[in-house]
Amino acid sequence: MDFTMINIVIPAVKILIVFTVVLLAVLIMTYAERKVIAFMQVRLGPMRVGPWGLLQPIADALKLFSKEDIIPTMADKLVYFLAPTLAIVPALLTFLVVPFGDKTTFFGLLKQPTSMAISDLNIGLLYILAISSVGIYGILLGGWSSNSKYPLLGALRSAAQIVSYEVPLTLALVGPILMANTLSMKGIVEAQSKGMWFVIPQFFGFLVYMACAVAETNRAPYDLPEAEQELVAGFHTEYSGMKFAFFYLAEYANMIVVSAIATVVFLGGWLPVPGLAFLHIPAIIWFALKVAFFLFIFLWLRATYPRYRYDQLMQIGWKFFIPVALINIFVTALLVL
Amino acid sequence: MEALVSFFSNYMLYILMGVTILTAVGVVYSKNAVHSVVALLLTMILVAGIYLMLDAEFIAAVQLLVYAGGIIVLFVFMLLLVALHKDEALRLFNTYTLISLGLVAFLVIMLAVVFFGTPFGPAPATVTNIVKGGSTEAVAGTLYSAYILPFEIASILLLVAMVGAIVLTKERGKS
């Protein structure tokens, strides 16, 4: 393969595929969310658009495209335009290092096998954490620039919540990194292929990670930044049309990212379930199934638990999750040594 | 195509540095505090880009995580709390013209000395290292063996600041 093919064409095609898959996954996710929660509440969910309401996400997307784009008076226009971009760009950038599977030739299309991840950075996990920590500015600046009180309050809550839960989230991931001895996403999966999945030795880390991941993505029961009863819709109250769609897309993309990290770090990435390797299911299907499982947990939690009170949220974040994650690191470090 | 790639790998560093200086000037000159912070955020991200071009990908990630993702969030947080955007008419200039002229002249001379003293060559062609080996281990090894004492002193300094902040807020609560 020549230079252009390796350095430009293949990465560009990979980026296009990942981008499309993520957007499609978001569409399916919005439908799944309505249906799953509807069934859990003994309702039918969307039924009108298409058979079993299957075309509902497309109808939603069309509606969002054609809505009027409202800018509040006295809004800081520059920041108001910048905020949705700042929310969605980091969310999509994090997919750069997600390994969807092992090396593949795409069914013989390529002569040499290429990695399923767009790029395998040696600081993979750190890269995801670093990039996603920038995503909070979309919420903060969006809330401030709307020049309205509910978005401002939502943004303040959101900032406090995300900064607080970023600490235990990062600490929970240190245990598996210690065991895998690498930061590369691919390396972490390969380390699990030799032994057991990290969900077993790192069970407490896994629980802390899941709880913090839900909080980081502002999902129920940690959805205080957009608590409907108190704050209308939180930071995106004043946003409409495509700008709102960007925030919406960023939220779901973030859910997929944290699910993908959980899959890679704790559930063995693209590896088959132990004992089921004889089924010859492609690696990417295993990966998708595991991510779908985590996404289902997100919906399950939303349908099950009521929202936390704000003081409870801070209490368990700082006084429970951080100590548990720290003890987990110490014990892991001792055992690894 | 190869010429384009080699152009970028040779001169991207200087392009990044130039844009970083522009955003840094934006921090100082924008009258709105929030715009200043947004410019500061861009500056921090671009500085991470400079580290990346110098093959220090671990430092770049930490720069993003700590400065862009942590410290500036707290800046914005404070701005939202104090509603600074109402004080745009704040007087931005003072009357110490002579003293500031002298200081600026001194600063420019110092910068010029450093600038002309530095041997500028083509920027290191990089980014290959990031996908292969990496500098994370090198950073850890140096930090925890050769420079362990400064590292510990810095952490104690931060601990003192943290304890100090807690003590200050506790005192106010009592009175």
Would you call A171 an interface residue with chain B, using a CB distance cutoff of 8 Å?
no
Mean pLDDT of B124-143: 62
A326 versus A108: the higher-pLDDT residue is A326
The three-state secondary structure class of A104 is strand
A194 versus A231: the higher-pLDDT residue is A194
A72: left (phi > 0), else alpha (psi -120 to 50), else beta? beta
- B80/A160 CB distance under 8 A: no
Which residues in A lie closer than 8 A to residue B58 (C-beta atoms)?
A: 123, 126
Q: Which residues of B111-132 are buried (b: 16+ CB within 10 A; e: fewer)?
A: eeeeeeeeeeeebeebeeebee
Number of domains in chain A: 1
Does residue B101 sit in the same domain as residue B163? Answer: no
Whether pLDDT at A226 is above 90: no
Does residue B124 sit in the same domain as residue B143? Answer: no
Q: What is the pLDDT of residue A106?
A: 61
Does residue B111 sit in the same domain as residue B35? Answer: yes
The three-state secondary structure class of A103 is coil
Does residue B50 sit in the same domain as residue B78? Answer: yes
Structure tokens at B137: 């281990």
Q: What is the pLDDT of residue B105?
A: 94
Name the residue type at position B64: L
Q: Which domain, by its residues, includes B150?
A: 135-175
Q: Kindly report the number of other CB atoms within 10 A of residue B108's CB atom.
A: 11
ipTM of the complex: 0.79
pLDDT band for B132, please (50, 70, 90 cuts): low
- B58/A126 CB distance under 8 A: yes
pLDDT band for B173, please (50, 70, 90 cuts): low
DSSP state of B135: S
- A130/B65 CB distance under 8 A: yes
Does residue B166 sit in the same domain as residue B151? Answer: yes
Q: Kindly report the number of other CB atoms within 10 A of residue A238's CB atom.
A: 22
The three-state secondary structure class of A331 is helix
Would you call B55 an interface residue with chain A, using a CB distance cutoff of 8 Å?
no
- B74/A152 CB distance under 8 A: no
Whether pLDDT at A198 is above 60: yes
Pick B134's closest partner by Cβ from A119, A122, A156: A122
| Calpha distance A290→A94 (Å, rounded) | 18
Whether pLDDT at A1 is above 60: no
For chain A, report the end-to-end CA distance as a whole number of angstroms: 44
Does residue B108 sit in the same domain as residue B156? Answer: no
Per-residue pLDDT tens over the stretch A119-137: 777 778 888 888 888 888 8
Query: What is the least distance, in Å, from the CA of B35 to any CA of chain A?
Result: 8
Does residue B102 sit in the same domain as residue B154? Answer: no
User: Among A8, A133, A171, which would you mutate to test the B interface (most chain B Cβ atoms within 10 Å of its Cβ)?
Assistant: A133
Give domain status of residue A112, yes or no: yes
Does residue B165 sit in the same domain as residue B102? Answer: no
Pick A79's closest partner by Cβ from B34, B60, B73: B34
Q: What is the pLDDT of residue B154?
A: 92
Number of domains in chain B: 2
Does residue B128 sit in the same domain as residue B147? Answer: no
Which residues in A lie closer than 8 A to residue B32 (C-beta atoms)?
A: 76
Whether pLDDT at A41 is above 70: yes
Does residue B20 sit in the same domain as residue B50? Answer: yes
Q: Which parts of chain B are beta strand (E)?
A: none
Per-residue pLDDT tens over the stretch A70-106: 777 777 778 888 888 888 888 888 888 888 777 666 6
- B69/A159 CB distance under 8 A: no
pLDDT band for B85, please (50, 70, 90 cuts): low
Which residues in B lie closer than 8 A to residue A138 (C-beta atoms)?
A: none
Q: What is the pLDDT of residue A332?
A: 86
Does residue B125 sit in the same domain as residue B168? Answer: no
Q: Which residue of B has its CA nearest to A119?
A: B131
Would you call B54 an interface residue with chain A, using a CB distance cutoff of 8 Å?
no
Strand (E) or helix (H) holding A88: helix A77-93
Whether pLDDT at A227 is above 70: no
Pick A156's closest partner by Cβ from B2, B48, B80: B80
| CB-based contacts of A211, cutoff 8 Å, min separation 6 | A321
- B130/A166 CB distance under 8 A: no
Is residue A155 a contact partner of residue A143, using CB atoms and an 8 Å limit? Answer: yes
User: What's the CATH code of the domain at B54?
Assistant: 1.20.120.1200
Q: Which domain, by its residues, includes A106?
A: 68-336
Q: Return the percentage of chain A with pLDDT > 70, whole number.
A: 91
| Calpha distance A93→A76 (Å, rounded) | 26
Give domain status of residue A185, yes or no: yes
DSSP state of B3: H
Q: What is the pLDDT of residue A95?
A: 86
Give domain status of residue A126, yes or no: yes
pTM assigned to the model = 0.81
Does residue B112 sit in the same domain as residue B149? Answer: no
Q: Which residue of B has its CA nearest to A77?
A: B35
Q: What is the pLDDT of residue B159?
A: 94
Give domain status of residue A301, yes or no: yes
Per-residue pLDDT tens over the stretch B11-64: 778 888 889 999 999 888 887 777 888 889 889 989 988 888 777 778 888 888
Would you call A4 an interface residue with chain B, using a CB distance cutoff of 8 Å?
yes
Q: What is the pLDDT of residue B158?
A: 92
User: Among B40, B57, B59, B64, which would you mutate to test the A interface (most chain A Cβ atoms within 10 Å of its Cβ)?
Assistant: B64
